[in-house]
Structure 1
Amino acid sequence: MKTKSLIIIILIFDLAFSEPYQTKYFDQLIDHLGFETGDKTFKQKYLIKDDYYRYDKGPILFYCDNEAPVEFSFGGAGFMHTTLAKELNALVVFMEHRYFGGLSPLAQKKNLLRKEIINTLLKSLGCEDNECPIVVFGASYGGMLSAWIRMKFPKIIDASLASSTPIFLYENREGVDETLFFKVVTDTYDQNGCSKQIHSAMKILTGLIGSPLPSFLFKKQYKKVLDEINQGMKTCKPITDQNNLNVLRTYIDSAYGYMSMFNYHKKVILFQRCLLGLQTILAVKKFVDVYYDFEEQKKCIHFNTGSTGDVNTSGYKILSCADIVQPIHPNGITDMFYNQPWDKDLYQQYCEETFGLTPSYDYVLNFYGGKNDDEMNDDLTIINMYAAGHCSDLRLSQIGDVERVIQARIEEEKYIKRWIQEKLPSDYFTKKSQV
């Protein structure tokens, strides 16, 4: 009797903490061109969620993962793997991006084609060419991948949803505004009256960084203000020169940028309060801690260790030095930051010295297209989401979602149903099984 009780308890415990997906691995080619590695493969991770799927050739929702482990991306795409999957009785697949998971090949820089696993899935499900519609999803960089795979393989991919995707933000794109991102970030803070105060803090730091004094004189001349900065920011290692101040400024403006993008409704109150009635440097510290130390656990800050928390995105630097080159920069006029033009020569020097790579600036526009608006399809559907956080439409619906995000999800579902209709039985949505 005790043994049976123990088994039941273990089963209940296991069910309570089980993942909502199955983890599998696909034998993926290391190099799709095969010039250097031949037919060598590696185990590429993917997640399968089939609790809503009808095994009669229903739709497949395929997520192109971005610069994070695939489990991380799964958590932010509930609208796809829960809401849409249930409505469409769809199979859900999340494919992990090589470099960003536990099992990845080394040294190969290209990671743009994922149709091999899609073909394998279609074959395993017994799908013919005109069956099992495939809708590809992606967020941010992953959204670029989802758009590109649809552009390159339109006979396999029936539709693509690219959420918050800067797909045309490349150097030689006609009419590209390299400063627009920082202007949009500034507009976000301007809504709460914070942008002028942030700009004042940036001017103080920028003035110090631009000092022509050698380090030993700089440390002596500005001892008082450096002490205030170190005390106010609680730096683990004291800042004593212009170079470290420049790193600190990047640490700060990264927080402003990321929080603007990920300003989901639960954190709006913090944004509205953090700069009111506080001295400038203490206000900055309190603000950036919302991003870097939300739980208030850190005794001091290591401002030179990056800005992405526990997610290792170092592999993206390699991609950025290879062919995903997006030259965005502030100008200090249309934004609350400072003037820092993008230096192509300096960027190339960094890539060559760090990774031995020379950036291929035109690769994306040449390979996928998009050099100008003439290359765009007039039927391309664009949905604007005012006051929304980055990729909000892919998140699971929550109380407090802004109206435009709610409407965007409704529109996306409508378009997806329309786009996949021809590969489904005419009565699929009227007689679909209830799960």
Structure 2
Amino acid sequence: MKSIIALSVLLICFVLADTYSFDTKYIDVPLDHFSFATNLTFKLKFLVNDTFHVDNGPIFFYTGNEGDIEVFAQNTGFMFDIAPQFNALLVFAEHRYYGVSLPFGNLSYTAPKYLGYLSSGQALADYVYLINYLQETYGRQRHMKKLPVIAFGGSYGGMLSAWLRIKYPASVVGAIAGSAPIWQFKGLTPCENFYRIVTNVFEGLGGRKCSETIKNSWSVIRALTANDAGKANLSQLWNLCSVLKTDTDINTIIDWLTNIYINLAMVNYPYPTSFLVPLPGNPVREFCGKINSYEYKNNTGLLKAIGQALNVYTNYTKTTKCNDIEKTSDNLGEKGWDFQSCTEMVIPMCSGDFDMFETSKWDFKKVSDNCFKEFGVRPRDEEVPILEYGGKELGSASNIVFSNGLLDPWSSGGVLSNVTRKLVAVVIPDGAHHFDLRASNDLDTESVRMARQFHVHEIRKWLDRYYIDNISHQSKYTRKLL
């Protein structure tokens, strides 16, 4: 089982392609913000929509995740929904080493000397650099020192938006951090919590038979694929693109299945979605319905039941020719995230006897060895984000809303209760992965509507305070009146 699943497995929303329009822009940013050993720069991509922006209007800034920025821009409808009432400029910044923002072009992933500049710290510095440019470009002659910026982000992007406010409070006045597992690190969250939530979602929404079938399948898969004939049999049964041949292939298909189950839990929205793959509404219930309706009496029947259910995820449109177990989505930069999870984003994961997954202990040495084999690097046996961003010691931070849906396994590492009066938590009991950052929908639950209303209230409060304090032409007396 892989030690970490890509977080923006992640921003899953349903919006038709090209729903929102943007101007695509680039800015030259330093390769290394923290030393003077190199003067190299590269082009960072960002998207701008100024449809709603007027003089002195704020900047709504999305801190890009591990993937093409267009994907996140087209799937964060909440920012568009509220932009008109705030006269906001919308900006979506691509994360370095993802999409086309590759510092060394095709060489970027070929060696540690090129890939070593991929980190959250460098990405945050990119965003600060870009924000400063935006404030100078759009804030000239606006009677203000600089335009206020609100950061938005979901999943890893939510972590970045929170950390941006924590580390660079002069650049952003507040942050909406959706499904941001900033506490999913060693010593902060038990490693089994993540998989336990996935199990609870499947058992609660799909029934005991569904979760037990999945739990029983692991030993059946291992036993069947112990020989070449069994490997070929399973490859045909599940319509795999290539025949399973080695033990490594078996571990790959176990990881593939694990990630599919996780993704289904995260995207369990009440209406169809299309980001990782096209899916129906309530996909966990649909998936489990296929399993529950299949009356199997032996191990072959069990695997057929799962194979039938897998079509909900792999072939909902009935256009998939075969199943590629090397990936669960075309839109995410999985290789880049694998590198980050080998350096600063080492997130302990384990599963217990009562989960529907294979029992698996957290093994740092195994993770380290795999990282060295793949990238030539080894993670430190310490949690870098805790040292850099504070872990649970957040008392000095302010103006952050942490929102989490309790159907989302990443809520296991999320902030679920208020830290201070200025670091507040919003819990969405029936919400999946950053449900609140999606565009409004007629099938939205009342809890997600209330969460969005709270976000708007907090954003308005932050901005009102900023404008009162920073409109340069107002006298002190006028500011007191305001």
Alignment of 1:122-201 (within 5 A): 122-124=135-137, 125-126=139-140, 131-173=146-188, 176-201=189-214
Q: Secondary structure at the match of 2:329?
A: coil
Alignment of 1:345-356 (within 5 A): 345-356=365-376
| C-alpha separation in 2, matches of 1:235 and 1:104 | 32
CA distance 1:201–1:389, shift in 2 (3 Å) = closer
| C-alpha separation in 1, matches of 2:446 and 2:42 | 44
Q: Secondary structure at the match of 2:342?
A: helix
Report sequence identity in percent: 27
| C-alpha separation in 2, matches of 1:92 and 1:219 | 55
Match of 1:275 in 2: 291
| C-alpha separation in 2, matches of 1:41 and 1:239 | 44
Kindly provide the amino acid, as one letter, of the partner of residue 386 in structure 2: L
> Shift of the alpha carbon at 1:206?
2.9
| C-alpha separation in 2, matches of 1:401 and 1:184 | 22
Q: Which has the larger radius of gyration?
A: 1
Contact 1:199 1:337 in 2 (8 A): no
Match of 1:408 among 438, 447, 451: 451
Match of 1:84 among 82, 85, 105: 82
Structure 2: runs of 5+ lacking an equivalent: 1-16, 109-113, 272-280, 297-301, 398-418, 472-482
| C-alpha separation in 2, matches of 1:375 and 1:133 | 20
| C-alpha separation in 2, matches of 1:353 and 1:246 | 16
Match of 1:252 in 2: 257
> Shift of the alpha carbon at 1:396?
0.5
Match of 1:219 among 190, 215, 227: 227
| TM-score, with structure 2 as normaliser | 0.76
> Shift of the alpha carbon at 1:402?
1.8
Q: Secondary structure at the match of 2:432?
A: coil
CA distance 1:79–1:370, shift in 2 (3 Å) = same
The Cα RMSD (Å) is: 2.7
Contact 1:109 1:322 in 2 (8 A): no
Q: Secondary structure at the match of 1:137?
A: strand
Structure 1: runs of 5+ lacking an equivalent: 1-15, 429-435
Kindly provide the amino acid, as one letter, of the partner of residue 322 in structure 1: T
Q: Tell me the alpha carbon deviations over residues 114-150 of structure 1, each in whole angstroms, 9 at most, x when there is no partner.
A: 2111111112213687652211001100111101110
CA distance 1:128–1:348, shift in 2 (3 Å) = farther
Q: Tell me the alpha carbon deviations over residues 87-136 of structure 1, each in whole angstroms, 9 at most, x when there is no partner.
A: 11111111101111113113222233221111111122136876522110
Contact 2:206 2:289 in 1 (8 A): no
| C-alpha separation in 2, matches of 1:130 and 1:288 | 55
Alignment of 1:32-431 (within 5 A): 32-36=33-37, 38-55=38-55, 57-80=56-79, 82-105=80-103, 106=108, 107=114, 108-110=117-119, 111-113=123-125, 114-124=127-137, 125-126=139-140, 131-173=146-188, 176-206=189-219, 209=222, 218-219=226-227, 223=229, 229-239=234-244, 242-266=247-271, 267-268=281-282, 270-271=286-287, 273-278=289-294, 279=296, 280-303=302-325, 305-333=326-354, 335-360=355-380, 361-371=382-392, 377-379=419-421, 380-424=423-467
Q: Secondary structure at the match of 1:209?
A: helix
Contact 1:49 1:91 in 2 (8 A): yes
Q: Secondary structure at the match of 1:275?
A: helix
Task: Choose 281-290 or 193-202, whichever is displaced more.
Answer: 193-202
Contact 2:94 2:101 in 1 (8 A): no
CA distance 1:350–1:241, shift in 2 (3 Å) = closer
Kindly provide the amino acid, as one letter, of the partner of residue 47 in structure 1: L
| C-alpha separation in 2, matches of 1:122 and 1:142 | 21
Match of 2:415 in 1: none
| C-alpha separation in 1, matches of 2:364 and 2:191 | 13
> Shift of the alpha carbon at 1:227?
6.1
Q: Which of 1 and 2 has higher RCO (CA within 8 Å, sep 6+)?
A: 2
Q: Tell me the alpha carbon deviations over residues 35-72 of structure 1, each in whole angstroms, 9 at most, x when there is no partner.
A: 54x221111010111111112x1211100000111100
